[in-house]
Structure 1
């Protein structure tokens, strides 16, 4: 009797110790659609146009039917979440008939889910959408498990025919259940191990460039006041070209050929190579090798520059504010290129729409602009997340033992360095120093306050600079300036203060363009002055902006 009583007590204690979400109660009320109001509508569900409650025998279900091509048919639910919910499982039955994609690949049947914080701002990452195409007339039960990001207060669920050409989509028995995070972690670990084994069996990509010999490499650089110097005290002035494409394509576009042309025909001594963290680890579109070919191309680029005694800036070409994924990138990158004399690390391409405190030390990033007068320089959606700050990226690099020179970009899309002189400079613990970066375009004003004042105390890298006769789509017409007046003034100020610089960009399709074509013909409005400046022509500044 006693042992049995103790056993029952232990079982009861174990059940009480389980988290509340160990119960199977769904967070979606009336997910089986069997609670019907007097109006004939399902309780807790707001059905819109072209969404109906249907019945087969004694079973009720939802039906979405497209009335015409391109129509948007949807049912919406907003599910409150408590802080203890760290992972969820969505389960449902679905069937569909005649769903034909619309004008875009994602115009089809979908379950779209978005996390929101308490202020209704977006919280990433969102769960991967489920999609439905063609016909599947039999009911099929499907499940999806996903993490709940920090700060999420609600989960918005949209069952939709999203601008499909045609089709019908049915749902039933929809549940959303909290689950233990360990379930997802275990599944992820098993999948990662399987994927690692598959990748390990793949043939390794062959290098396209030999490893640069020690005698070919340039001397390492360090910060000395507002200059860059070699170990023997010689001052170095970095002048070169920004090379895009590896931020949007895992294979890049003419990367090694462009480096060769830039260092020889254009006489650059520095290449800024734009990279992305997801390509580096093999998570980008169309990658199936774990990032091996991408990393090899980066290595080839490093060797191409190093063998010619030139420097290469490895630019993490992302935006807004530092995140943990950026720290992971730099931990790996810094370990690989630790103390390589040709390699310079640029922490983050263009920080923007965050306070100086968050820029430096991290903190909450909200999905709102901080200043109305700042031009929005691309279509990046503003979302909410927790930033780790630029100082953390510096620390992650230094913790690997890498002393490489570091570049840190300012605010306002990499332009504004005013905070550096007002208590927000970064600390470099044991490295070769930090150079600050500013991106300068014709619509930017206050050169003195935004980068020239900082240039009196720190080395400054104008990592992106350029002008185009074609007005950028985000720019009001009154803020467009003729390159004929702006370019000489900008190049003149660079030369007068010996600001380090790489012209944006050495590609014929990404504006402001240095090139007209892949024959490396310079554009007359920007490419020709750049080539002249790199060859030693002096420009005069007549007017500050």
Structure 2
């Protein structure tokens, strides 16, 4: 943050409709307006760090306002996508200043924050304590604390509405209680209209349109999956109207927001083979490709990265929004980080949550930043890097 106390943002949802569970949509004017978050007491304010940069895509690089190359290097902070819809909170674990400071002490410069579409929009089936204005205010508080420690916040849509019962379905629930293959046309454009309206005057915030699209698990062909990914509409194998990446980007830009936007590929964001041919048109020219990789993914070796990632990275900025492994070690991400470092690319570890790393890629044992063996690899690597500048990849 450029100063200890940030100007407050009004987080009213300005979308035309909001979801009401079990019934029709209601106009936004019929719902109470969100109130800006209450500023913290002076004693709770952190010491101001240098502000995160305002980023833009310039060729295949991310650059700041001065034109200096910048890499997004850091962690994911999971919880905001699931706790609210499960009815027990907004975050999983603390998101106070001390816990955010612990992230910064790893020399991270970026925190990716997963969101839940229905919690943000205020779906009626969610506990009122964890939906709508309360949810948006809590998310904004975390955004401000991330910025206060000089780190870039990435807001991304993780769980969304839409009944999908096909191949690889995470759940059969119409509500946003699991990962769906694609965003939906009914609510997701409204979600991004609202988020972009809230942060269009805060260009330090980055938008990640949809966590891990997997239309390829539903459609008969990969070509159909990429068409669905970009254009949405009626997609084979998906029983709801899909919002494509172009629809979501249009929703963001329709608010006047010029923030950097990320668009992840198909196959749970692990396949970018059709990204360049199907990239949505961005009138602001501020779009980057997002990619995810774990040791158990299909594209998990250097030969695949050279074949499918390198052409994308040569044309547009590339951000590995999630890197991880299920081994409780860091041998795999060491290889990923080496490949990305050699090309001055960005990456974020999954995840800054104090979970048992044997059940999934958890970076920490506690929120004071004590790492798991997996997290030690990322922490030590980030501390050995200068995360504020990047060499010219050319």
- For the pair 1:206 / 2:38, whether they are aligned, the reply is yes
Report the CA distance between 1:452 and its aligned residue: 2.6
SS of match in other structure, 1:365: coil
Residue 212 of structure 1 contacts residue 306 of structure 1 at CA under 8 Å; is this kept in 2? Answer: no
Structure 1 residues 508, 213: CA separation in 2 closer, same or farther (over 3 Å shift)? Answer: closer
Determine which of 141, 153, 172 is the counterpart of 1:312.
153
SS of match in other structure, 2:274: helix
Report the CA distance between 1:415 and its aligned residue: 1.1
SS of match in other structure, 1:418: coil
Structure 1 residues 365, 536: CA separation in 2 closer, same or farther (over 3 Å shift)? Answer: same
Provide the residue aligned with 1:243 in structure 2. 77
4+ runs deviating over 6 angstroms: 209-215
Provide the residue aligned with 2:280 in structure 1. 426
SS of match in other structure, 2:250: helix
**Cα deviation 1:95-137 (Å, max 9, x = unaligned):** xxxxxxxxxxxxxxxxxxxxxxxxxxxxxx9x96xxxxxxxxx
Superposed, 1:51-66 pairs within 5 Å as none
**Cα deviation 1:353-403 (Å, max 9, x = unaligned):** 241011001132344xxxxxxxxxxxxxxx511212101111111111100
Residue 209 of structure 1 contacts residue 300 of structure 1 at CA under 8 Å; is this kept in 2? Answer: no
Provide the residue aligned with 2:91 in structure 1. 252
TM-score (structure 2 length as normaliser)? 0.74
Higher strand share: 1
Structure 1 residues 437, 331: CA separation in 2 closer, same or farther (over 3 Å shift)? Answer: same
Structure 1 residues 235, 205: CA separation in 2 closer, same or farther (over 3 Å shift)? Answer: closer
Rounded Cα–Cα distance in structure 1 between residues aligned with 2:332 and 2:343: 17
Rounded Cα–Cα distance in structure 1 between residues aligned with 2:36 and 2:71: 37
Report the CA distance between 1:231 and its aligned residue: 2.2
TM-score (structure 1 length as normaliser)? 0.54
Determine which of 119, 144, 149 is the counterpart of 1:279.
119
Report the CA distance between 1:307 and its aligned residue: 2.3
Q: Which segments of 5 or more consecutive residues in structure 2 lack a partner in the other structure? A: 1-18, 85-89, 160-179, 217-224, 387-394
After alignment, is 397-406 or 291-300 more displaced?
Answer: 291-300
Report the CA distance between 1:281 and its aligned residue: 2.1
Higher helix share: 2
Report the CA distance between 1:268 and its aligned residue: 0.6
Rounded Cα–Cα distance in structure 1 between residues aligned with 2:228 and 2:35: 43
Provide the residue aligned with 2:390 in structure 1. none
Provide the residue aligned with 1:16 in structure 2. none
More RCO (CA 8 Å, sep 6+) = 2
Larger C-alpha radius of gyration, 1 or 2?
A: 1
SS of match in other structure, 1:363: coil
Structure 1 residues 209, 462: CA separation in 2 closer, same or farther (over 3 Å shift)? Answer: farther
SS of match in other structure, 2:292: strand
Determine which of 245, 250, 257 is the counterpart of 1:395.
250
Report the CA distance between 1:245 and its aligned residue: 0.2
Residue 243 of structure 1 contacts residue 505 of structure 1 at CA under 8 Å; is this kept in 2? Answer: yes
Superposed, 1:348-367 pairs within 5 Å as 348-354=210-216, 355-367=225-237
Residue 209 of structure 1 contacts residue 304 of structure 1 at CA under 8 Å; is this kept in 2? Answer: no
Rounded Cα–Cα distance in structure 1 between residues aligned with 2:264 and 2:241: 19
Rounded Cα–Cα distance in structure 2 between residues aligned with 1:295 and 1:247: 12
Rounded Cα–Cα distance in structure 1 between residues aligned with 2:361 and 2:183: 26
Residue 206 of structure 2 contacts residue 261 of structure 2 at CA under 8 Å; is this kept in 1? Answer: yes
